[in-house]
Structure 1
């Protein structure tokens, strides 16, 4: 039980250090997955320590262990809350930065489109004599003129970029969840491996005990047979002595 308590204290210290790194601005996917896995491992450690505390026979030790469990659960709740807040804050800052970049890019694209539109709609001064200039529409459409920009093109592009950014964020969140689940599965496999090792050791001890018991039973049976022979020999010798006493002194 002391080993579980030490493990819980170490996990809490490690989580505080990781949260401090996250608070300082390091919000990588690897760090988020590591914190999620550490929280899951700490929760399992608390549950194991609680179950062992309930099986404690000595009342004083049981009460002390229960107080430690309550403190562990309080620390776990606080660490979990801090992690959720820092994660939400980092996601909001990242989304705001991405949105600002997208708006800046869209504004630049709109400015370039307006410049092209002004360049295309500005009538070019003809070098012909005024009498030779065409009397019709001087702004006739030229076959070499590019297509006029469609209204709402910048908005559509911005929406597409925002949709792509949202998709990337969701993908990162799913990857973090998969990493956390993988770490949790790995920890569970390690725990099961330790349990199987302990079971194997107990089975070997039981087999050795059964083998020793079988040897002891065989030794007892052989000793019983020897004792029976000794008893018969002693009885025969006693009867022979009685016969001699009766024969010569009777």
Structure 2
């Protein structure tokens, strides 16, 4: 029974070290995730075996002590799983933020391209002799498109807030 207790203690220390490494080094996360999951499964099996042996212990004091240790190991396992889930959530949020920054950068770049294109089209339209009415109509449509975009963006942000508020 002591060997199982010692094994569970070593597994706990190993998982704790792996979780610290997993949280601090983003490059090693893809390799450490399966290792941590396997170590957690092995620790659960070890603690289950330890608990089963503790239940068969004849001396009541030893049985209570061993069952208390098993309960402590189960609490550690729960804490490790929560920590792993928290790290995964943080990584996912970081990925979403990076993706959002990338999209914003692309939109800024596209805005510059469209602005230059609009300027060239207006110059070409003036040189061809297109009337000011048609150019004004195009400008109004552009303004309406901008308003539609910002209303849609505000609605999307409001929907994200509602989803976060109710589900998060």
Regarding TM over 0.5, the answer is yes
CA deviations on 1:182-225 (whole Å, 9 max, x unpaired) are xxxxxxxxxxxxxxxxxxxxxxxxxxxxxxxxxxxxxxxxxxxx
1:84 aligns with: 85
Q: Does 1:43 align with 2:44?
A: yes
Instruction: Find the aligned partners of 1:120 and 1:45 in 2 and give their Cα distance.
Output: 73
- State yes or no: 1:138 paired with 2:139: no
Structure 1 segments of 4 or more deviating over 3 A?
123-126
Q: Tell whether 2:70 aligns with 1:69.
A: yes
Q: Deviations over 1:55-95 (max 9, x none)?
A: 12233322221121121112112222222112111211121
Q: CA deviation at 1:13?
A: 0.7
Which residue of the partner structure matches residue 31 of structure 1? Answer: 32
Q: Which protein shows a greater Rg?
A: 1
Residue in structure 1 matched with residue 164 of structure 2 by the alignment: none
Mapped to 1, the partners of 2:96 and 2:32 lie a distance apart of: 18
Higher relative contact order, chain-length normalized (CA < 8 Å, sep 6+): 1
TM-score under structure 2 length normalisation:
0.68
- Count of residue pairs the alignment pairs up: 134
* C-alpha separation in 2, matches of 1:83 and 1:44: 19
Any unmatched runs of 5+ in structure 1?
A: 127-136, 141-149, 156-250
RMSD (CA atoms): 2.6
Aligned to 1:233: none
Q: CA deviation at 1:139?
A: 3.1
TM-score, normalised with respect to structure 1: 0.47
Q: CA deviation at 1:125?
A: 8.1
Provide the C-alpha distance between the structure 1 equivalents of 2:26 and 2:85, rounded to a whole number of angstroms: 15
Distance 1:51 1:8 in 2: 14
